Amino acid sequence: MDVRVGDILVMKKPHPCGSREWLVLRVGADFRLRCLGCGREIMNTRSKAERGIKEIKRES
């Protein structure tokens, strides 16, 4: 999956705050993501993050 820093990921399941959108801060074996609802930052393995992605929003 082609995920880049700065992309917004729309996930299948919502974060407890209710938002489904996450900003990609770091890409590699792990992803660092920031919730666009509450600002919480998480580190997630690439495989787990890619399974949960519903849509990738990219600004051209």
**What does the domain layout of the chain look like in residue ranges?**
8-57
pLDDT of 1 reads 83
Considering the chain, what percentage of its residues have pLDDT values greater than 90? 95
Contact 42, 58 (CB under 8 A): no
Tokens 């519903």 label which residue?
54
Structure tokens at 40: 């919480």
> Could you give the dihedral angle defined by the CA atoms of residues 44, 9, 36 and 14, in that order, rounded to the nearest 10 degrees?
-80
pTM for the whole structure: 0.91
pLDDT in tens, the chain (60 residues): 899 999 999 999 999 999 999 999 999 999 999 999 999 999 999 999 999 999 999 976
